[in-house]
Structure 1
Amino acid sequence: MNKTKSKKINTVLASVLGGFFSIAVWAQPYPNKPISLVVPQAAGGTNDIVARLIAPAYGEALGTSIVVENRPGAGGNIGTQSVARAPKDGYTLLLTINSAQAINPSLYKNPGFDPVNDFVPLYYIGATPYVLVSPPGSPYKTLADVIAAAKKKPGELSYASAGNGTISHLLGAMLNTSAGIEMQHIPYKGVAPAINDVLGGQVPLAFASLPSALNYIKAGKLQAIAISSAKRSSAAPEIPTIAETYPDCVGEVWVATFAPMGVSADIVKKNQQAMDKVMTRADVREKLTAQGLDLNPVPPAKLGSLLKEELAKWAKIVKASGAQLD
């Protein structure tokens, strides 16, 4: 056999074998590589805490590793948009909170994503209230103390939030309306810097999610004044609710996972089944409830309906607050 003919045969064989190899790789079952779980806020917030608590068990249930990626910016819009535009292969998922998914579409003129049409709802994990906190030694120990001070000097008492248009911001606006007071809002770029300035005495009050503040409260580094849920939290039943005084002042943060619209039904099902396994594990549930999460389930089929209800609810609150961002 001459060299030219031999070379042609080798080329054909290489092409055939390469094709078989490509088919074999393509045919590998999902998942066959690490999955990126995008958190569209900075480290230290509720969804970041939840993501890092569930990631090991989630990866184990799927048979791969889950890599938590913080992609903060624009109140959660940057990370959320990145998932909406990601490949529809199930290797980029979103773990988010309702402030980004249900409030930002009303708050921003162009958030860069459509919360309903750009995502497939995967799994509702749980909900938690916000807590109004002050530093140790502060004269603001109860909600009555806060209201009395705010009424005495309108516009002088300030509270920190995780950013413009976040639930922690809007809860202050709701309390202003409900109590007939005028507290000044000071937005931060995330809950961690807001808490740090309360700890340092730079700002007298803050609304923070219970998971982000609970360790500080238990350590005596923050005073818990009241929480924003309709009923008291099992993680901290000693903290009264704002609703005990102002029944219409209620707002919680819920945590859920989403995939980019266009992923296959098989990928959706595998992720939902994996999260079912995660959420039945006693060790995971114990860690989540210890952080203040209420784990009452919302079936995956109803997560989309919940999102639409929240979009309508917060649109009214955003409009009433006058908050608007470009």
Structure 2
Amino acid sequence: MKPTRYIAVASALALLAGPAAAQDSEYSWQPDRPINIIVPWSAGGSTDQVTRVVAPILEEALGTEIVVVNQSGASGSTGTKAALDAPRDGYTWTANAIANNATYSVTGLIEDTSIEDYRIYLHVANVPLVSVNSNTDYQDFPSLLEAMKTGSVTVGTAGVNSSGGMALAALRHGTEDELTGARAITYDGGNPAVIAAASGEVDATTQLAVEQTEMIRADRLRALTVLSDVPLEVEGIEPVPPITEFLPDFEVAKDYFGIFIPKGAPQEVYDTVDQVWQDHIMNAEELKTYANDRGAIFDPSYGEDALDLAMPVVISEACARVERGEAVVDPSEIGIDCGSE
């Protein structure tokens, strides 16, 4: 029988080893220090939520600490640029909706960048909800739509490049710019925008379902429609009717989210994360639970397969910027063909 002192020392050493003890020798890259994932939005929003679900899975697989860093500002471009400007050694990643990373240069927020700057790792697709403060008189989407056309409705979003901002812009486009009474109020992330709607600071929000579900369950928000072609069904919430029920010609594309590693690092970094994604993310129960509970779509992929899946939303968002007069760079300059939308 081993002495008690020996057991105590061995246990302490195991604890000090931390995630590295779980490192799998089959992976070609063995990170020797923490990896930072820059979330370019405030804490509690959609990107932050799902990244904090994925990070522990990656941490265990890679055997090193994964640090989630919130660096918000300028519709997510501040933190994204920080990731692009960091040393290309594989230790600084970023997280976002892929349409953002693909179109920052179109709107002039980050010069000379495109989705080709990253190796892509997607995990869920999100859907925006149009919801109102529960104390408002809007009981259904047609009544809110009418008020947006003829009255005055304040709408909380995380900025023009956020999912909520793009959803509001899509609504304007889908109604032929008739929503003259809808006034966007910008917050420093999806979570603050949703809280503003729940508190009555603004009338409505168009942020993502994953950011709103808890407030809807608590009867602080009333969900009126989901920007999808099928109803949103989440436990504890009445089914939310699709936008196509009210605007049949409304164009819908899955809003994919993921983690992005800037290119230029050693190839073994990407080879290893590819394998980790395949081994640990593609069937991650924690991620499935998150998606089911919050109203997201579990749909992991990586590499070229991920880019193929996400191109419809990338094209849709880039070309919508052109149609709305928000583009300062033609999408064709970064390889996005609006003729194929």
- Name 1:57's counterpart in structure 2: 57
In structure 1, stretches of 5+ residues that fail to align are 1-27
SS at match of 1:37: strand
1:142 aligns with 2:144: no
- Look up the SS of the partner of 1:295 in the other structure: strand
Conserved? CA contact 1:228–1:252, under 8 Å: no
Distance 2:172 2:32 in 1: 51
Give the whole-Å Cα distance in 1 for the aligned partners of 2:119 and 2:292: 26
After TM superposition, what 4+ stretches of structure 1 lie above 6 angstroms from structure 2? none
Q: After TM superposition, give the deviation of residue 265 of structure 1 in Å.
A: 2.6
Change (3 A) 1:85 1:295: same
Cα contact 1:170–1:317 (8 A) shared by 2:
no
1:215 matched residue in structure 2: 214
Query: Structure 2: any 5+ residue segments left out of the alignment?
Result: 1-27, 330-341
* 1:223 positional shift: 0.8
For 1:34 and 1:299, the matched residues in 2 are separated by 22
- The answer on whether the counterparts of 1:228 and 1:251 sit within 8 Å (CA) in structure 2 is no
Q: Normalised by the size of structure 1, how large is the TM-score?
A: 0.82
- Residue 43 of structure 1: how far off its partner (Å): 0.9
State the 1:128 CA deviation: 1.0
Distance (whole Å) between structure 2 residues aligned to residue 187 and residue 170 of structure 1 = 12
The aligned amino acid for 2:211 is: S
* Counterpart mapping for 1:149-228 below 5 A: 149-153=147-151, 156-179=152-175, 180-182=178-180, 183-228=182-227
Does structure 1 conserve the Cα–Cα contact (< 8 Å) formed by 2:254 and 2:310?
no
Q: What amino acid maps onto 2:243 in structure 1? A: I
Whichever residue aligns with residue 215 of structure 2, its letter is Y
- Structure of larger gyration radius: 1
Q: 1:246 to 1:103 in 2, by over 3 A?
A: farther
TM-score, normalised relative to structure 2: 0.79
* Displacement of 1:311: 3.6
Q: 1:181 to 1:99 in 2, by over 3 A?
A: same
Distance 2:116 2:35 in 1: 22
Deviation at 1:163, TM superposition (A): 0.7
C-alpha displacement of 1:126: 1.2
Distance 1:185 1:44 in 2: 21
- For residues 275-294 of structure 1, what are the structure 2 equivalents within 5 Å? 275-276=277-278, 277-294=280-297
Cα-to-partner distance string for 1:32-88 (whole Å, 9 max, x where unaligned): 221111111111111100011121111001111211111111111121112222222
Q: Cα distance 1:152–1:304, how it changes in 2: closer, same or farther (>3 A)?
A: closer
Structure 2 equivalent of residue 260 of structure 1: 262
CA RMSD of aligned residues (A): 2.4
